[in-house]
Amino acid sequence: HFRLLTGVPTNFGNQNKPLLSTITRNDPALLQYAKMNYGSTNLSEEDWVKCEEHYKVNLLYQDMMRKRQEIDRLAKSGKFKYEYDSDEDTEGGTWEHKLRQAEMDATRMWTQALTKQSEGKHHIGDFLPPEELRKFMEQYEAKKSNRQPDLSDYKEYKLREDNIGFQMLQKLGWKEGQGLGQDGAGIVDPVNKGPQREGNQGLGVSSSATPEDCDNEYDAYRKRMMLAYRFRPNPLNNPRRAYY
């Protein structure tokens, strides 16, 4: 079951997320999400409903990715568990069946949220969440302007006082807002969170939905639709694999 803890900040990187039913429009993380993706917190009722839906779907996506990573870890550790198939205890299904069941359990809430959010939508581009569209357009505009894209996400995944690394830095005399280093002259802004790779993708694998220098507006549109296709409705909870 998708059971999460209450009483902690609702940043996407925090694994102890609150119950979705307890999120209100005064939630600091929701307000930050609205300002980042809608440009303001002064939204109409219709935009607030959309914003809350997208925010909750994003929370579910992060939770699903955490579960999928655990499943991948178990898959790697159990790949050669049995020398002979006859040695396996198949009560409740084979090892592969149990692994698939765990995967479906991990993606169930995510697929239900995707399907509900897509009700009444027909164009594939309507399925693309606003934060994904914002990141894509920032990359595209940066390529056209020959500059580095601003994809800073450390505010969304900010480390808190309960983080071990945060505590270690404090013991060394560091305070929040100071630069790193003995004299405090180092970087102040943290580095971004590493990208999450799906489908056992290796290092250096680039997404075909990422804008390139040579792309024109038609290439950008095609790649944007390819990106949106990943967020299409999935009412039957079918396995989603990266195939492009």
pLDDT tens digit sequence for 6-58: 333 333 334 444 456 677 888 888 888 888 888 888 888 888 888 888 888 88
In whole angstroms, what is the distance from residue 6 CA to residue 22 CA? 8
162: helix, strand or coil: coil
43 CB-contact burial (10 Å; exposed 0-12 / middle 13-18 / buried 19+): middle
Report the percent of the chain where pLDDT is more than 90: 3
Quick one: pLDDT at residue 16? Answer: 46
In whole angstroms, what is the distance from residue 51 CA to residue 30 CA? 8
Among candidate residues 122, 142, 173, the one where a domain is terminated? 122
Q: What is the tens place of the pLDDT at every residue in 60-110? A: 888 878 877 777 777 676 654 555 556 666 677 777 777 777 778 878 887
Greatest mean pLDDT among 17-21, 70-74, 123-127, 189-193: 123-127
Are 113 and 141 contained in the same domain? no
Domains of the chain: total: 2
Are 115 and 208 contained in the same domain? no
Q: Which domain holds residue 44?
A: 20-122
What global pTM score does this model have? 0.46
Residues 11/58, Cβ–Cβ less than 8 Å: no
In whole angstroms, what is the distance from residue 60 CA to residue 17 CA? 10
Among candidate residues 95, 122, 149, the one where a domain is terminated? 122
Tokens of 17: 């997320």
Residues 48/25, Cβ–Cβ less than 8 Å: yes
Neighbour tally for 51: CB within 10 Å: 21
Q: Is residue 239 part of a domain?
A: no
Are 171 and 190 contained in the same domain? yes
Are 157 and 189 contained in the same domain? yes
Q: Is residue 242 part of a domain?
A: no
Measured at the CA of 55, the angle between CA 53 and CA 56, to 5 degrees, comes to 65
Are 135 and 225 contained in the same domain? yes
Q: Is residue 48 part of a domain?
A: yes
Are 166 and 208 contained in the same domain? yes
Place of tokens 């995944």: 157
Helices (H), the chain: 28-38, 45-78, 95-117, 130-145, 164-171, 217-229
Mean confidence (pLDDT) of the chain: 72
Quick one: pLDDT at residue 155? Answer: 52
Picking from 118, 146, 124, the residue whose alpha carbon sits closest to that of residue 209 is 124
Q: What's phi and psi for 135, nearest 5 deg?
A: -65, -40
